[in-house]
Chains A and B, each alone.
Chain A
Amino acid sequence: MLNEISIKGRLLVGVISVLLFIWLIVIVLVYQSSAHEIDEIYDASLASYARVLASLMAHEAAEEQEINEKIQQAVKELGSDYLQHSSALSDLLTIYRSPYKSEDYITLELAERQRSHPYESKIAFLVKASDGKVLLRSSPDVSFENVDTGYHNINNNGNDWRVFGLWVPRLAMSVIVGENVKVRTELQDEILMNVLFPFLVSLPIIALLIMGAINKGLKPLKAITERVSKRSPTSLAPFQINNVPSEVLPLVDELNHLFQRIDQALDNERRFTANAAHELRTPLASLKTNIQVLQLSATEEQQDSIDKVLRGIDRATHLVEQLLALARAEAESHEDIKPQSVNLESLVETIMIDTGHHALEKDIEISFEKHTDKYDVQTDEGLLQMIIQNILDNAIRYTPVGGSVNVKLREASGIIELLVEDSGPGIPDELQEVMFQRFQRGTQNGVRGVGLGLSIVKQIAQLLDIEIVMTNATTKGGLIVRLIFS
């Protein structure tokens, strides 16, 4: 896409890359800051769990101590003698008389209740006495025994845990609360997914929107492109400057300058052609007239030479006319052509009647065949005449004395064809393409032509969008030139 230097493609790829890059940064930042915040919150709650647990333990201990003290008091008041009478009471009081030991009062079962939340398995705690003896444990597989005070990351049974140890000096015991790290990573992942999902869903929509915006932005450029492509290849009219985006304006300006320069050059060429016509024809006319004056009083002997000079003048004249016609056809542009309805039948008839005498002089049989008289085409009559004239001239020129030239007009499925068939030597297939080049002449010697006719024909046919097909006739061996008007 980039290789084709498509502005649309480049913009789309560029904008989406930038967008994706920004999204990536946003996602990384969101992930990092959410991870940090989650750590803060969870660490804080871990600490408060420990403190709640510690204060619960303290409360329990204080209660026990109070009971203990009251029993001590009662024992003192009752006296040891009284107690000796009731061994059962003595046993009961003995239990409470010993110094406070939490393990005596808090049972493990308390902590191993049924879980009420799946995350509970990911939270664990352990309480141990200063001598390392475990007083309380949330589940048997919790091994937080070697944890110091403060926050730590430890491995417990193959899982990563975040633990917080709290030393409670009043009770001389440590409270350790831990939490499976999975809780945090799962939450982080979920937050990430929550951020990522709308991004991923909206990406194609955003791409479409961007494409639409780019299309809209490039509309003026597209409009200019369309205007350029709609122009005829030979048009040199300047572009209208309005509605041209400022980015393209210099280009359009340059194009207009270029058009202007070319137009001037063509104009000069046209003027040169017109002047050259005058400058070349007048001396030729002078030559011819003066030679003909000489001829009026020439001897038989001189007559022969004068004929040769006259033939030379005629050839030079023909060359000049063809050159001028070619120059004119080349200077002509599509703009100059004002198509009008031309009746092919009457045009061909006029041309044939005008040039027919050349054929009659060579005793060439000419004929014109048409099937209806509805051969109207939209074209430039003068230029079309030049084409038909040249083709007919060629046919008569290259057809030997006593031959034939047949012109046919026919129509098939809306396509009008003009055929010029001659009984001349034809043009070998391999030479047919070359024949349209300047100064190419057929293989036949002794025919006076300058080899410009077909290049004029080609030039004008291109201008008028007329297709020309040359084929060699299989029966008579001559050339068939088809003009196809579609």
Chain B
Amino acid sequence: MRVLLAEDDDDLGQGISAGLQKLGFTVDWVTDGESAEHASKDTESFDILILDLGLPRQDGIEVLKNIRRAHNELPVLILTARDAVENRIEGLDLGADDYLTKPFDLHELAARIRAIARRRSGRSQPSIHYRDINLDPASRSVLQNGKSVALSQHEFTLLEHLLSNTGKILSKQQIESSLYGWNEGVESNAIEVYIHHLRKKLGKDLIKTIRGLGYSIPLEQKRAE
């Protein structure tokens, strides 16, 4: 995967380049806004642009505006040292795909790049491993300790959603919108029923209820990188 990095700070730019390369990306690094905009025109070469907002010669916001004005659909992830919420919102409104505030976690950056690229390419996710569970989105099958577990359509989607967001809390609304994107009628306690089924089939400790908020599958204790 080829990444275009626009970052004016030498040390940080070098760090990101080196880190992403070690994590399997190809990185082209430019240090000012004009070069970033120029390089972005080569849409065939790059899968994503990592754009610092505080760039010399041309501000990151300007670069983003110009890219989108030119109907360039290159995915953009904004890096910002400005924390004003308006700045981030402006970035997202202008067509950025995601943002990260400095300082950030290198692995988080890599994960976000992969997620954006996946969303853009429409490629399906690789299978997810969590403890003794193996979920394959391609075949829509779930294995526990190697044995197949039969799940309904909604149960599978719900589990996939939760396993893709381990460690995070998912609100009922979030789950509902991911399950019923196609305007199905939602029964008020439908989610509870699916969670109940999943617990029965996969073990009651798998999904945590966060009272008043939603559900969560906690992070695995040691993340395998």
Contact = CB atoms under 8 A, between A and B. Distances in A.
A30 B210 CA distance: 97
Contact of B171 (A317, A349, A370, A407): A349
B104 interface: yes
Interface string A235-253: 0000000000000000000
Nearest to B100: A285
A357 interface: yes
Contacts of B54: 278, 282
B32 to A, nearest CB: 15
B19 A353 contact: no
Given A288-B104, A366-B210, A361 B167 contact: yes
A288 B103 contact: yes
A369 B211 contact: yes
Contacts of A480: none
A400 interface: no
Contacts of A357: 167-169, 216, 219
Nearest to A279: B81
A430 to B, nearest CB: 33
Interface in A327-367: 349, 352-353, 356-357, 360-361, 366-367
B106 interface: yes
A296 interface: yes
B103 A367 contact: no
Contacts of B81: 277-278, 281-282, 285
B218 interface: yes
Q: How large is the interface on A (under 10, 10 to 19, 20 to 34, 35 or more residues)?
A: 35 or more
- Among A274, A285, A297, the most chain B Cβ lie within 10 Å of the Cβ of A285
A277 B54 CA distance: 12
Contacts of A382: 85
A317 B100 CA distance: 14
A324 interface: yes
Interface in B199-225: 208, 210-214, 216, 218-219
A5 interface: no
A360 B12 contact: no
A83 to B, nearest CB: 150
A313 interface: yes
Nearest to A290: B15
A369 B212 CA distance: 6
A292 interface: yes
A281 B219 CA distance: 28
B19 A285 contact: no
Nearest to A297: B22
B168 A353 contact: yes
Interface in B45-78: 54
B169 A286 contact: no
A368 interface: yes
A441 B213 CA distance: 30
A284 interface: yes
B218 A360 contact: yes
A201 interface: no
Given A287-B103, A289-B12, A356 B216 contact: yes
Interface string A269-284: 0000010011001111
Interface in A294-335: 296-297, 313, 317, 321, 324
B102 interface: yes
A289 B50 CA distance: 14
A293 interface: yes
Nearest to A314: B103
Contacts of B85: 382
Contacts of B105: 288, 292
Contact of A368 (B106, B168, B212): B212
B19 A292 contact: yes
A138 B85 CA distance: 115
A402 to B, nearest CB: 13
B23 interface: yes
- Among B16, B83, B168, the most chain A Cβ lie within 10 Å of the Cβ of B83
- Among A283, A360, A370, the most chain B Cβ lie within 10 Å of the Cβ of A360
Contacts of B106: 288-289, 292-293
B11 interface: yes
B150 interface: no
A370 B211 CA distance: 11
Given A292-B106, A317-B103, A282 B212 contact: no
B12 A282 contact: yes
Interface in A367-407: 367-370, 382, 407
A360 B171 contact: no
Contacts of A360: 167, 169, 208, 216, 218-219
Contacts of B219: 357, 360-361
A277 B212 contact: no
B192 interface: no
B9 A282 contact: yes
B82 interface: yes
A156 B65 CA distance: 120
Contacts of B16: 289
Interface in B5-26: 9, 11-12, 14-16, 18-19, 22-23
A349 B171 CA distance: 8
Interface of B: 9, 11-12, 14-16, 18-19, 22-23, 54, 79, 81-85, 101-107, 167-171, 208, 210-214, 216, 218-219
24 contacts: A274-B84, A277-B82, A281-B101, A285-B79, A286-B15, A286-B103, A288-B106, A289-B103, A289-B104, A290-B14, A290-B19, A292-B107, A293-B18, A353-B169, A353-B170, A357-B167, A357-B219, A361-B167, A366-B210, A367-B211, A367-B213, A368-B212, A368-B213, A370-B212
Given A297-B22, A361-B218, A382-B85, 10 more contacts: A284-B103, A285-B9, A285-B79, A289-B103, A292-B19, A293-B106, A349-B171, A353-B169, A367-B210, A407-B212
Interface of A: 274, 277-278, 281-290, 292-293, 296-297, 313, 317, 321, 324, 349, 352-353, 356-357, 360-361, 366-370, 382, 407
Nearest first, the 7 closest Cβ-Cβ pairs linking A and B are A368-B212, A367-B211, A289-B15, A285-B103, A285-B102, A286-B12, A292-B106
